[in-house]
Structure 1
Amino acid sequence: MKAQTAGCDAIVLGAGAAGLMAAATAGQAGRRVMVVDHAPHAGRKILISGGGRCNFTNMDMGASQFLSGNPHFAKSALARYTAADFLALVQRHRIPWHEKAAGQLFCDRSARDIVDMLLRECAAAQVDMRLSHRIIDVARDGGGEYRVETDQGVFRARNLIVATGGLSIPKLGATGLAHDLARRFGLRVVAPAPALVPLTFGAQDREWMEPLAGLSVNVGIACRSGTGRHAREVIFRDGMVFTHRGLSGPAILQASSYWQPGQALDIDLLPGVEAGRRVLDIKRDRPRAGGLAMLSMLLPQRLAQVFAQAYLPEGQLAGMPDAVLTAVAHQLGAWRLNPHGTEGYVKAEVTRGGVDTDGLSSRDMEARDVPGLFMVGEAVDVTGWLGGYNFQWAWSSGHAAGQAVAERSG
C-alpha cells in the first residue's frame, strides 16, 4: 500500500452523476476535493442512459414526481438547483440537445457529452480524481475526520459525500456500499428494491403472454402510494410491451416503482375511452359481427384473440346480452393481472428505497447526527419517475451537498 496522503476538505465516494456534481460544486468554491471510485471510468451509468443519449433532466420538475417516505424531502434541493440551472450548464458547454417528449431533454449526439462536461467542470475545479481505487474501509476518528482506506492509499477529509448509488445494473459495478456505510454510521435504510424495471409473471400467465411477445399497446395504469394524508394516486398513460417473461414498456416501468409483491395491477387497455358505451355502440352498428371482430376494432389483433377466448362466447354480437358485453368492457378498462416479480436489479434503471430521509437534512443532505457525512443521489430514499427525474435528483442533491461543503470550509 502507498503512503498515506494528506487530507482535503471533502472526499466524494462515487464518480457518477451526483458525485461529479458535488465535487465540481465544492471544488469551484476553492475547496480541496477528491473523488474516489472503484470503476476505471467516470459516469458509466450516464453513458448507457436514454439509449446512449442521456435524458439528463425534465423541465416539468417537482417533488410530486418522486417516491419517498417523506414526499416533501426533495423539494428543497430541487428548488435550489433546478432543471433550468442544469440546462444552462449544458448550454454553456455548447452541448446540442432536444426535447423528445413533454419536458424530457436529451443530448442530440451522445451521453458522452454530459460525462465530458462534468469532467471538465471537475478539472476546472482542480478536483483530484482517483479512479480504479477499491475501497477497503471507511471510518470516522474521534476528531471528526473521515478516513477512507483503498487498495492504493489512505485518504482523509473533514467531509465525506457518499454518492455510490444503489443496487441497479450490477454489471456496471453497482454495490450496496452506500447502504452499508449508512448503517455503519447509525442511519436507517429503507428496504431497497428494483424500480423502473420490467415485471415478470408465473408460468400460467406466461403461457398466453409468450405468443404476444413484442406486441405494444398504449395503456393507463393507476398507481397508489402513501397512507393517510400522504396517500395519492397517479395514472401513467404510455406504452406497454409484452415480453417472453411478462410486461415492460414505459407505463410498466413507471408502475413498477409503486408495485409491491402480492399486489395486482389494473391496466386500462382503452385509456380515455368509455369502454362500456363503445362496445354497445359497436353491437348496435354491427350486430352481425362476431366478438373477435368487435375486439379487433379496439385492440391489436393478437391481444383481441386472447380476450375473445377468455371473455366472450362465440356467435354474433346481436345474440350476446348487453350484460356480457358490459362485463368485457369492464375487463378492457380494468384488466387485472398479478405480477410474480420483477426482472431484478439487472434490468432496473434505479433502486427504490435507500437511506432514510428522516436522518438527513433536506437542505444539504447532511446526516443530522453525523457531522460532515452527506448522502446524495440514488443512495437516498428518493426515487423519480421515468423521464429524466432521477438525473435531476442527482444534480440537485449533489449540488446541495457540494454547496454545503463550500460554505462550511470557507
Structure 2
Amino acid sequence: MKFKADRTTLLKALAHIQSVAEKRNTIPILANVLIQAQGARLTLTATDMEIAIVEEVTASVTRDGATTAPASVLFEIVRKLGGDTEIELDQSGGDAPLALRAGRYATSLNVLAVDDFPSMTAGQLPHRFHIDAGVLRGLIDRSRFAISTEETRYYLNGIYLHVAKGDTGEMLRAVATDGHRLARVETELPAGASGMPGVIVPRKTVAEIRKLLDEAPEKVEVALSETRIQFTVGTVMLTSKLIDGTFPEYERVIPRDNDKILRVGKRDFADAVARVSAISQERSRPVKLSLEKHLLTLSAASPDQGTAKEELDDGTVSYEAGPIEIGFQARYLNDITDQIEKDVEFAFSDSSAPTVVRDVDSPSALYVLMPMRV
C-alpha cells in the first residue's frame, strides 16, 4: 500500500477515528486504525467493538493495499507536522512497518495484521430517515447533560430516542435522566421514522456523533434496528450497538399540577446562582430559592466559608403565588439554564416535590429537577 494525502484532510479524518479507537489496549488491535487504499479512495476504520466509525477521504494511491497502525500515535504525528504538507504513507505488506514521510520528516510505525482487525457489521437496519443536522444537534445538546454515569443503572447511560405523542401529533423525542434531573426534548417526526422502535443510544455514541455534527452537511441519515443505530454524516459513517435495557416510564415522574409559577431572566438567574454558590467549593451543596410575591432570594451557606445571598426583584422576576423555600444543587440548576436562551419558567408544588422547568420561548423542551433538603 502506498499513497499520498493532504495533511489537513488526513488530520480531520484521524481526529474522528482516533477518539473511537480503544486506548486501554486490552486488545491491541483495537488501538489501531485500519487503513485501506484503493484507486483514488482512502478508507479509515476504527472500532472498540461497541462503536465503529468509517471515513472515506481522497488520496493519490500508487499501490492498493491495507494495513493497520496505532491510531493515536498516527494522529499525533500528523497533527504536529503543521502546515499544508503532503504526507506519504508506504507499507510493503505483511508485517513490514508503515513508513511515513512529509518533507524532511520520516518515521516508521509498527503494524498489526489486517486479518486481526475485527469487523462490526450493522446487520439489517430496517428503519431509515433523514434529519436536519441542526435539529439533531439540538436534541443532543439539550438532553445529554442529564445522562446518568452510574454504571449499575446501565439503562440510564444514554439518550432514549423514540416516537411519542405530542400536542401536534407524533414527535421524535429524546429523553435522558440520572434520577436527579430529567430532560425531555422533542421535534417534528422526520419522514420515515414513524415505525421506529424506542432505542437507548449509549453515552459514548452520543459524544462521538455530537462531534461530527459540528462539521455536518445539512442532512444526516439515521438507520436503526432494535440492536444497532447508524449515523451517516457526509463521508463519515458511525455504527453503534444500542443499550439492551428498558428505559423507565419517565412520564410518571413529570408533575402535571405544579401551580406556583416563577418566571425569571435566564442570565440574571444563572449569574446569581454562580455568585451565591461561590461561597462553597462542595459541588453538592444546595442553593436555596426563597420566593414571595415578585421577589426571589437566592442563598447558600458553607460551614467553613460563610454565607451568601442575592435578591432578584420584579425587574426580572414574575411570581404571584404564595411563599415557598426550596433548594437545588447549583450544578444541576446551571446544567438546565445553560440550555435556555432567554427566560426560564419554574413550576413548583412544594419544597419536597419535583419541579418542572421550561424555556419560555421553546415549548419543545421540558426539564424536571428534584429538590434538595435545605
* Interval of TM-score (by shorter of Structure 1 and Structure 2): under 0.3
Comparing both structures, which one devotes a greater share of its residues to helix?
1
Comparing both structures, which one devotes a greater share of its residues to strand?
2
TM-score between the two structures when normalised by the length of structure 1: 0.23
Structure with greater contact order relative to length (CA < 8 Å, sep ≥ 6): 1
